[in-house]
Structure 1
Amino acid sequence: MRETFLHYLHIITAVVFSSFIIISFSAGAQEFPTKTESSVGQTLINALKVEKPLAFCGEMVPLNEEEIRERLDRELLYALDNSDAVILWLKRANRYFTHIEKVLKKHSLPDDLKYIAIAESALKPLATSNKGAVGYWQFIEGTGTRYGMAIDPDIDERRNFFRSTEAAVAYLKDLYAIFGSWTLAAAAYNMGEEGLKAEILVQKVNNYYRLYLPQETQRYIFRILTAKIIMSNPRKYGYFLSPEDLYHPLQFDQIEISTNQPVPIYIVAAAAKTYFKMIKDINPHFKNYYIPAGKHQILIPKGSAAGFAERYDTLMQQWSAEKKESVYIIKKGDNLSSISARFNVPVKAIMIWNGINANKKLAPGDKLIIYSKYFKIRNTNSQDSAAGNPTLQLP
């Protein structure tokens, strides 16, 4: 009886142990996929296998060197880990690249230079760096003014896609004339020509891939190459965008305004049968709420140029009449907060209407424009009345 019991116990133990082995193997198979199975890691490894030869503006990238491959791998992995940014690259490129390509072709420059705008700003008009570089092509103020862009408290043409693209092409052309290499020209675009000249002179090397440069510039060309690699074949990297997914190329009418006084942008918007935000969005170089005095080319929505001039003239006449009836003469003891409370309008609105900031010191006799339904005009000051400048009074 005891021998029979032990015999069955051995059989049961063997069956349980065999089942454990089978279950463990199955779990292990799920945890460790075979080489033929897809995994995130294997997908990334495959993505790093860049087709050779690789060039930037016709200049070969020495991918046979391990250090160069590692620098490129780093930027590819960084980009692929930020798929949201890559998707926006692809979508925005459909809006902007056609014009950039056209300008590059007009100047007989390499098409690859368009990817610099991706590395610089990801094609965002209001992009600003911690070093003060602004716009699609990230010009600092000094270089921007050197290449003819207006930069002042009212206008910053670094935000103007068309003006900044022409300036960037001119700058890159000049840099190529200095360094004789598009790769070095792009590096100089990033760190400045004087800085790059100094490094070449001190290190006695004029090959970008051999130069020891600031980390940002050491990565810069590889960031441009990463944009080129992914955007030239997005499907390889899992980005399957249809034409409907892409942002449409820019379409607009252009009008010219000449004015001897600042003009509220909302008036231009109304004359163009659109809204304030639309005018600001397609003219991001206008920094404030007004178009400054002078002659300006302004973009408006496609199809709205017809009849614009007539509508604009009518609206300007109405605004001028309203403005004359909205002059407030500063009294002793007035400040922005008390005036705001008196006329029930926000302090910020008063500052916008008058182009002032919160630190503006108000003196008796100064004049402010205030649009409010909480006052009526009384010509109580004879001097102001004679001058045609009525004083706004509370009822």
Structure 2
Amino acid sequence: MGRLVLVVVLASMFGLAGCARQHAGEEQGLGAGNLDPELAELDGLKFSRGRPLTAEERKVLASHGEIAFHLTGEESEQVRGYVQYFLETKRDTVKRWLVRAEPHLQYVRAVLASNKLPQDLMALPFIESGYNNFAYSSSGAGGMWQFMPATARRFGLRVDYWVDERRNPYLATMASAKYLAELHGRFGDWQLALAGYNAGEGKITRAMAASGSASFKDLAKDETWLREETRAYVPKFLAMLKIIKNLKSLGFEPVHMDAAPAVKELAVPGGTDLAALARAAGMGWEEFREFNPGFRRQVSPPDASSPVYLPAARVERAQAYLAEPGSARAGYRVLVASRGDTWWRVSSSTGVPVAALRSLNPGLPDNLAPGQTYLVASDSSSLDALPLGAIDDARASGRKAGKAETAVQASAQALPDKDKTQARDAVAEALALQGAGHKPVVYRPDPADAGPAKAAAPVKLAVKAKPEPPREKSKPGSAKPEDAGKKKGKYMVAKGETVWSIARKLSVSPGAVLADNNLSADARLREGDVIYVEGR
């Protein structure tokens, strides 16, 4: 029982944490989210034995990953049910998710390897969000990894009027790796760790205390301890993982694990006009937003520098813009207060929350004097309306936060600057690792994870070797399709389109587009270029 006492103490410290779509106790009352409906349908599915499994499906179900799970008979039946559901009813959904995931998988794998976490965990964002950076649940979880706001802040992510770093795939992946490592370190078991990721570690520790058991199998026996969604979480995860590891034999197009775009990180000062920066770099706003989904405004936060991610070929032009006199804080305009103006009145007329106005104008008093100048974001009317949660609503309206909210905010704000710097350094390192050339990094399961089922050979991830010699580049469309068995047609590039935006638009693999046209990951398409695309 000694361990359970410790667990209960930890639960009191982190009771609000978690990443599930329906966490209890944290930031309720939000509007409807925008998750793919297929994700909601997964919860509560009841399976009866359907058609007999094919020989290939039996082989897929018998396959093992790096993590050894010890499933009950009921859980094994759930895995079978989810596999058949994904393959038959939602096959097109799986295809769409794979296209979304492809640009991220190389980076996710690099981060998992650098944190000594199993590569199997790359399957988590599939069942959390379908690998959608802009996904929000009805309970306020956000981003590819579906962090709740308080949990995100605890792991160094900024969530406010200016940015939602849960939508930043680089920072959010780093934060998620830290969270998963912490959960596994706390519970010593991946099944409990994943349950904690879904429900929040506080829920799991309370269930352990109530049941007197540290076994997931025992916790899953009673609905009063764990919800159906959490009990089915590992079977959903395993079903998706088995499909990912057997795409070819299941008839899916292969996923190109090295299809990530060549991206460079650039620090921009507070108050940067992001729309102007994008134009200077030769990018439209939608293309810029595709690479930088974390920004909620077309202006960077006023109080700190922010990371911006750009195709490698665009960085030099962006740096030239930032070096121009007057580019700093160009995202703001100066207004003059009139008689009777208050921060509330300015907020009402500009659409900028009082808290955001005060952060822009930290030296000004509570009462504005006539003639007083103050700053307002230039794009104040351009709002990102996706929900951020009750804590954010409190900040925006000026309502005084409750004790629980204040504690959560304080823990996030207390994160040392050096930790934030280290996080960004780690992102830069992982971005470098996703480039060519690597030495193998292998995840080795903990002895506690070993069980009767023999774990498969660990997946190797390249993390630093000699880069391959540069291949000869050709103009888009100059490479003829080589695979006569697959129909390929011509596609004319529109203004501002990239390989990744075209791939998403046409639901094809970005890696396949690059390969079919002999393009490098940093190739720049121009309006009027003709490329080959499968299925056209």
Which TM class, normalised by the smaller chain length?
0.5 to 0.7
Partner amino acid, structure 1, of 2:145 = W
* 1:199 CA drift (Å): 1.6
Are 1:72 and 2:79 matched, yes or no?
Answer: yes
**TM-score scaled to structure 2, two decimals?**
0.50
**SS in structure 1 of the partner of residue 261 of structure 2:** coil
2:252 alignment partner in structure 1: 239
Q: Of the candidates 258, 275, 278, which is equivalent to residue 269 of structure 2?
A: 258
2:236 alignment partner in structure 1: 223
Are 1:301 and 2:311 matched, yes or no?
Answer: yes
Instruction: State the structure with bigger RCO (CA 8 A, min sep 6), 1 or 2.
Output: 2
CA contact under 8 A between 1:57 and 1:113: conserved in structure 2?
A: no
Q: Of the candidates 284, 296, 300, which is equivalent to residue 287 of structure 1?
A: 296
* 1:196 CA drift (Å): 0.8
1:268 alignment partner in structure 2: 277
1:159 alignment partner in structure 2: 167
Q: Of the candidates 315, 320, 328, which is equivalent to residue 310 of structure 1?
A: 320
* 1:175 CA drift (Å): 0.7
Greater gyration radius: 1
Distance 1:190 1:156, change over 3 A: same
What CA distance in whole angstroms lies between the structure 2 residues aligned with 1:57 and 1:223?
16
Please list the CA deviations of residues 98-135 of structure 1 after superposition, one character each: whole Å capped at 9, or x if unmatched: 11111111121111111112111111001111111111
Distance 1:156 1:229, change over 3 A: same
Are 1:194 and 2:169 matched, yes or no?
Answer: no
* 1:53 CA drift (Å): 4.8
CA contact under 8 A between 2:136 and 2:142: conserved in structure 1?
A: yes
Alignment of 1:60-209 (within 5 A): 60-62=69-71, 65-80=72-87, 81-209=89-217
* Percent identity for Structure 1 against Structure 2: 24
1:345 alignment partner in structure 2: none
CA contact under 8 A between 1:264 and 1:290: conserved in structure 2?
A: yes
What CA distance in whole angstroms lies between the structure 2 residues aligned with 1:59 and 1:203?
24
Distance 1:318 1:60, change over 3 A: closer
Unaligned runs of 5+ in 2: 1-49, 221-225, 341-345, 358-368, 380-536
Aligned length: 305
* 1:277 CA drift (Å): 1.5
Distance 1:311 1:58, change over 3 A: closer
* 1:301 CA drift (Å): 2.6
* 1:319 CA drift (Å): 9.8
Q: Which moved more, 1:272-281 or 1:86-95?
A: 86-95
RMSD: 3.7
CA contact under 8 A between 2:195 and 2:230: conserved in structure 1?
A: yes
Please list the CA deviations of residues 330-375 of structure 1 after superposition, one character each: whole Å capped at 9, or x if unmatched: 799xxxxxxxxxxxxxxxxx99995538xx9xx998988999xxxx
Unaligned runs of 5+ in 1: 1-40, 333-349, 372-395
Distance 1:364 1:201, change over 3 A: same
- Structure with the higher helix share, 1 or 2: 1
Partner amino acid, structure 2, of 1:309 = Q
* 1:181 CA drift (Å): 0.5
**SS in structure 2 of the partner of residue 255 of structure 1:** strand
What CA distance in whole angstroms lies between the structure 2 residues aligned with 1:105 and 1:140?
24
CA contact under 8 A between 1:127 and 1:134: conserved in structure 2?
A: yes
